[in-house]
Amino acid sequence: MDIELIRSLVEAWGPSGRESRVRTVIEGYLSGLVDEVRVDRLGNLIALKRATLRPPAGAAPLRVMLSAHMDEIGLVVSHVDDKGFIRFTNVGYLPPQSLVGNRVVFENGVVGAIQVEKGVRAWEGALKMNNLFIDVGASDAASAPVKVGDMGALAGSLVCQGDRLIAKSMDDRIGCAVILQALRQLKRTPHDVYAVFSVQEEVGLRGARTSAYAINPDIGIAIDVTLTGDFPEAAPMSVALGKGAAIKVQDSSVIADPRLRALMVQRAKEARIPYQLEVLTAGGTDTAAIQMTREGVPAGCISIPTRYVHSISEMVDINDVQACADLLTAILSKPIDLG
């Protein structure tokens, strides 16, 4: 797995609705891997790798849609007070307790420190978003280098510690990395593979919904992160770092197509790819938007186990990331027959 590919993705700036910088990075990696690349009107990046193996006699290649979202959680300025301090609200789900003391970078490069009002005891669970402010070093509103409506994202770089990688925006740049790695590994396929790098997932699965409508796929596979149950006082969950690709059974927005889930397990076993089954009690992915497109699409999800999702220190295991890419490659390399 290419660490520098991952680094370039997770360190790129791109909250929901402002994904152009991430899209440019991904476009560079797609060169030579696919037959067509386009950007739709919402901003989704859609790459097509045409079938290179002949399908069964008389059959057309299946349209297989992959989807990983480019956007990251962020924030938007809602008020600048007369002393130049910034009030903000979230773009996507931001746990307030994870923000205090962290830095935020705005689209124009300005960096601010997130702090909490005096007297608010964040450790007791009383912290709300309106208790937080951003200090950009301004002396008054007129000198503040950001204004109402400006978007920001958490500031942080990739850290590699053995097999463990820590960064902001693993959700879901690591899913984008999995698709790119699978395209590198995919030499031949009987399918027309549409690789979608979607926008605005964190605010309502918007990009996957519109791109799936346009593609009208026969099969849909999302690639996204999932929670784990392997750290102190984590909610009980049978997903852990280092135990392989997670194959989704269900989450709060979707029940994965059982035929596609069974095929994923079969391909993992055939290729001796480590895997685990995922039942997520909260949260959702592009899978739900794909599944509910038009008259319905058989859809599933390959998930990357991730600790501390929606924080500046999301953690993955590089072996799980590679297992996800290998599983996706194994699925796309052979015919898909859901019966």
Angle at 100 between CA 99 and CA 101, to 5 degrees: 110
Q: Which of 201, 202, 278, 314 is catalytic?
A: 201
Question: Six-digit token pair at 310?
Answer: 């929606």
| Residues 321, 331: Cα–Cα separation, whole Å | 16
Q: How many CA atoms lie within 13 A of 104 on its CB side?
A: 33
The amino acid that residue 325 corresponds to is A
The residues that bridge with 135 in the sheet, in sequence order, are 113
Q: In what order do the strands lie in the sheet with 219-226?
A: 36-39, 45-49, 192-198, 63-69, 219-226, 299-305, 245-250, 275-279
The amino acid that residue 72 corresponds to is E
Question: Six-digit token pair at 75?
Answer: 């924030």
How far from 178 is each of 65, 174, 175, 201, 286, CA to CA, in Å?
14, 6, 5, 17, 15
User: Rounded to 5 degrees, what are φ and ψ at 76?
Assistant: -135, 140
- Residue 201 bears catalytic tag: yes
Contact yes or no for 39/45 (Cβ under 8 A): yes
Least Cα distance to 293 among 216, 198, 202 occurs for 216
The catalytic residues are 201
